[in-house]
Chain A
Amino acid sequence: MKLSARYNRVNLITTILVLLITGIIYYQAISLILTNLKDRELVVEENEIFEYVKLNHTLPQTFESNDQQITFTSATPGSVTRQFINTMYFERWGIDDGRKKHRRKHNGVGEYEPGRGLISSVTVGNNYYKILIIVSKVETEDLIRIIFTITGGVILLLLLVLLITNRIILNKLWRPFYSIMKELRLFSIADSKEIPKLETSIDEFNELNNAVTTMTSKAKHDYKDLKTFTENASHELLTPIAVINSKLDTLIQTGKFSEKQSKLLNDLYGGVSRLSRLNQSLLLLVKIENGLLHDQQQINLRILVEEMIVQFDEIFADKELGLTYTLDDREIYASRYLIEILLNNLISNAIRHNYQGGEIIINLTSDSLIIKNTGEDMELTDKIFTRFHKSSGSEGSGLGLTISRQICENFNFSLNYQFSSPYHVFTISLI
């Protein structure tokens, strides 16, 4: 649920509730005032009766007019207490001329309307009379209804206006929030883009923006630190590796070696060369992730693949691998250095994980480069792309495919693996 919807809902319910309560109070107040008015009218009428009785010593003639009815009934003295009552007022058609003509369509002689009555008593001579004066309250009711309709209408209008303005204002108010959200969604720890400073007068969003900016820059900073550490560590390793390498080169010049010593030296060479490759791979990975390689140019992938194939000629021959390839022209805009590494890695893999007399198929079309190779007849998991994942007995660095995928991502290509027996298929989508 959106915040604005939630807010609107709460807002609406409370507004309606408050308005209902005030409506009731309002109604009560108006009807109280109007009833008081009527009561005063009744008192005036009562006084008139008293005056009349005092003057004439007889009951006035009862008549019905001005929406008032007066009835006298004899009663036991003292049995009547003076009081105001809400009662019904029976309105006779025709007596009440024309004023409510529209009601004539009803059958009957009249109808009951709400009324206000005053019960009082008067003594004429020896007779004790109960006086009942009833006035119609229909006008009061009408008045209340009109007032109520108008206020109700105003309230509805107010609600509507509030709702609309709320919506507009909320949308406007929340705009900085959505822009921060957008920035956060686009945020990548690896790229150099900072979350921009937000122009808003709302303190909360300023605070949010500040918090987000601080957080992201801290994350970036830590990430950079980590990468710098990797880079520095790899760099620092290069020199000792270079020393070992050169000492080995010097050592083998020193004289005759027994078979056992040669074997040891060979193993040493192998270890050092793996160490140095691993180190270079780490450095390369950092460099790609940092986007430090920008020697982008137009490259014809076909020519590059052909060069690679020539490069690997002897190794194909040595492993008696059957190579079939169909290459179309495909121009890409990328770093030649990185694409060479990519091809080198993929073809090396296809050779390394192949068996003697196996097969390699390379297909280059305008939308993909596919390298298939035979090998162990078992599907590999997607883990092959994670760092330092190695199949058993593999002598690689465990970074080749990670680097390859990173290179592909760098140029918005995608590198995927499938297994369709007997081939392991690596596909670079060039779209």
Chain B
Amino acid sequence: MQSFSDYCKYEKKHAEKTKEFVNKCAHENPESLQNSSLHLKKKNLKILIIEDEEGLRESIEEYFIGEGNICETASTYQSAMTKISLYRYDCILLDITLPGGNGINILNAIKENNHPDGVLIISARNSLDDKLKGLNLGADDYLVKPFHLSELKARVSAIIRRKTFNGSNLLLFKEISIDLLAKQVKVGKLPVKLTRKEYALLIYFIANKGKVISKNAIAEHLWGDGIDMANNFDFIYSHIKNIRKKLMEAGCNDYLKAAYGMGYKFDEQ
């Protein structure tokens, strides 16, 4: 169950860590902070997908590829081990149940060698123990099957933001800038006041820019999948409406588009 409150707690914990680090960096090298956001924008992401289920692996690959991102895949324990020993990735999506071995061992190998790769565990084991075990071993996040690709993307983006410390406190999209530490949104120089959920939703959209996000995925991101409101997602509409209104009042272009009644798309065009 990945509820919004979980996510918030998690973000908060990491935000504090990042803050410390950023302060330290800023102290040692004031220039790095200023250049960083530019750097992040240009950087191509390299992602390793370790997943034995072909259908799922392909979907994830297809969703992540683009914008110059590079995706590599491994479908067995051995090939995964080989890849992590040879190459470094921004983020590794790790399925725990693999043919030929336990994914936890791969995580151990990464951590033992002090590889800086971010690790997101994707697992069919929705057990709290597993989750804690994974996180204790140094995984950055834990996502339980089945999940929406948009959720996965958002999580991966969050991990990469935290991993590439260089100024990860600033998230830019066109004229929108978001200070992730202060949780402040600005359009140009104008601050926009968003509620907690609107803020989370905006970040979610930016992480999945150019993609159609289904209403289901939005509802599950904001309320957790326990909410069980079935096919009635009218309550999402008011959120979307509010975000759009607030952003446009601050002079932002309308990037948020409804997509065929199925979901929404946050797009540059």
Q: Please name all residues of chain B whose beta carbon is closer than 8 Å to the beta carbon of A352 when the two chains form the complex.
A: 228-229
- Complex CA distance for A253 and B263, rounded to whole angstroms: 11
Do A273 and B216 contact each other (CB < 8 Å), given the known contacts A314-B197, A314-B238? yes
Name the CB-closest residue of A to B210.
A253
B84 at the interface (CB under 8 A from A): no
- Complex CA distance for A177 and B58, rounded to whole angstroms: 64
B145 at the interface (CB under 8 A from A): yes
- Complex CA distance for A252 and B216, rounded to whole angstroms: 13
- Complex CA distance for A280 and B263, rounded to whole angstroms: 24
Residue in contact with B124 in the complex, picked from A238, A344, A345, CB distance below 8 Å: A238
Residue in contact with A315 in the complex, picked from B126, B211, B235, CB distance below 8 Å: B235
Interface-lining segment among B35-43, B106-114, B147-155, B179-187? B147-155
**Range of interface residues on B (Cβ < 8 Å):** 35 or more
B29 at the interface (CB under 8 A from A): no
B227 at the interface (CB under 8 A from A): yes
Interface-lining segment among A197-205, A394-402, A413-421? A394-402
Smallest CB separation, B265 vs chain A (Å): 9
Residue in contact with A266 in the complex, picked from B60, B211, B226, B262, CB distance below 8 Å: B262
Q: Please name all residues of chain A whose beta carbon is closer than 8 Å to the beta carbon of B129 when the two chains form the complex.
A: 292
B212 at the interface (CB under 8 A from A): yes
- Complex CA distance for A334 and B150, rounded to whole angstroms: 33
Interface string of A255-286 (1 = CB under 8 A from B): 01101011101110110111011001001100
A248 at the interface (CB under 8 A from B): yes
Name the CB-closest residue of B to A244.
B146
Residue pair A250, B124 in contact (C-beta under 8 Å): no
Name the CB-closest residue of B to A261.
B260
Q: Please name all residues of chain B whose beta carbon is closer than 8 Å to the beta carbon of A283 when the two chains form the complex.
A: 126
**Range of interface residues on A (Cβ < 8 Å):** 35 or more
B137 at the interface (CB under 8 A from A): no
B268 at the interface (CB under 8 A from A): no
- Complex CA distance for A241 and B147, rounded to whole angstroms: 9
List residues 203-258 of chain A with CB under 8 A from any CB of chain B. Answer: 235, 238-239, 241-250, 252-253, 256-257
Residue in contact with A249 in the complex, picked from B127, B149, B231, B259, CB distance below 8 Å: B149
Residue in contact with B228 in the complex, picked from A250, A318, A348, CB distance below 8 Å: A348
A49 at the interface (CB under 8 A from B): no
Residue pair B230, A395 in contact (C-beta under 8 Å): yes
B125 at the interface (CB under 8 A from A): yes
Residue pair A246, B128 in contact (C-beta under 8 Å): no
B53 at the interface (CB under 8 A from A): yes
Residue pair B5, A311 in contact (C-beta under 8 Å): yes
Q: Please name all residues of chain A whose beta carbon is closer than 8 Å to the beta carbon of B28 when the two chains form the complex.
A: none
Residue pair B223, A287 in contact (C-beta under 8 Å): no
Residue pair A241, B227 in contact (C-beta under 8 Å): no
Residue pair A249, B148 in contact (C-beta under 8 Å): yes
- Complex CA distance for A397 and B259, rounded to whole angstroms: 28
Q: Please name all residues of chain A whose beta carbon is closer than 8 Å to the beta carbon of B227 when the two chains form the complex.
A: 315, 344, 348
10 residue pairs, one from A and one from B, having the closest CB atoms: A395-B230, A246-B59, A242-B146, A318-B235, A243-B55, A242-B145, A249-B149, A238-B124, A270-B231, A262-B260
8 inter-chain pairs at a CB distance below 8 angstroms, sorted by A residue, are A242-B53, A249-B214, A252-B212, A262-B262, A273-B230, A280-B126, A351-B229, A395-B231
